[in-house]
Chains A and B, each alone.
Chain A
Amino acid sequence: DGGITQSPKYLFRKEGQNVTLSCEQNLNHDAMYWYRQDPGQGLRLIYYSQIVNDFQKGDIAEGYSVSREKKESFPLTVTSAQKNPTAFYLCASSSTGNEQFFGPGTRLTVL
């Protein structure tokens, strides 16, 4: 089945630790995106990549880092510099640059 997978579904982290969230797609999409969602709010763009080995900062990139070494994969690292990392993280991909298709999300909780 084609789609976008994110793992893990739930993630717990101690303060001061870096953590990496996985996003994989087998849709052959060129573009991939990471969003953060907080309760009662819309989606805010963290980073995006339109092509392999290239990515750009979104609206809230501070405290996050990404890599795009393969077309299928776009992992997001939440660093210890991110002041309030507890949130729901969503990955999306797109072929046309218009319609974006989302993964199931990862809920990160900092203890």
Chain B
Amino acid sequence: GQQLNQSPQSMFIQEGEDVSMNCTSSSIFNTWLWYKQDPGEGPVLLIALYKAGELTSNGRLTAQFGITRKDSFLNISASIPSDVGIYFCAGQSWLSNTGKLIFGQGTTLQVKP
């Protein structure tokens, strides 16, 4: 099945640093979602985006729905140790009427105290 191109694959940063990750698609999406997964747990929804250009924040997290509708970005400011985990982007194609999501392969974030 189709997958999104998510980058970077992994990041190892110092506590307090800002983090950026992104996802790109070859087709237009009408929904972008960002999830965080802790080890051995299910993904938790962080931010949902529905309009091109939309910029949404959730605490220290900010995500944007790209103008071209083919990409999305997630930024984490002032990282802390509990930000450690795998971050997934997911999107829904504008052609879809089934609710099916396409997932990126994830960005593994490690934070050094």
Contacts and interface: CB of A to CB of B under 8 A. Distances in A.
Query: For the complex, would chain A's binding face be called helix, strand, loop or mixed by DSSP majority?
Result: strand
Given A45-B1, A59-B1, A99-B48, A94 B99 contact: yes
Contacts of A66: none
Interface stretch (B12-20, B39-47, B65-73): B39-47
Contacts of A101: 45
Interface string A60-99: 1000000000000000000000000000101010101111
Nearest to A105: B42
Contacts of A56: 98
B99 A43 contact: no
A47 to B, nearest CB: 11
B3 A100 contact: no
Interface in B67-101: 88, 90, 92, 97-101
A48 B99 contact: yes
B103 A102 contact: no
Category for how many chain B residues contact A:
20 to 34
A53 interface: no
B105 interface: yes
A44 B1 contact: yes
B43 A102 contact: yes
A90 B42 contact: yes
Interface in A21-53: 31, 33, 40-45, 48, 50
22 contacts: A31-B99, A33-B99, A41-B105, A41-B106, A42-B3, A42-B6, A42-B88, A44-B1, A88-B40, A92-B42, A97-B97, A98-B31, A98-B48, A98-B50, A99-B33, A100-B33, A100-B101, A101-B45, A102-B35, A102-B44, A104-B41, A104-B42
Given A97-B98, A97-B99, A98-B33, 19 more contacts: A40-B106, A41-B106, A42-B6, A43-B103, A45-B100, A50-B98, A50-B99, A58-B100, A59-B1, A88-B40, A94-B99, A98-B48, A99-B45, A100-B45, A102-B35, A102-B44, A105-B40, A105-B41, A105-B42
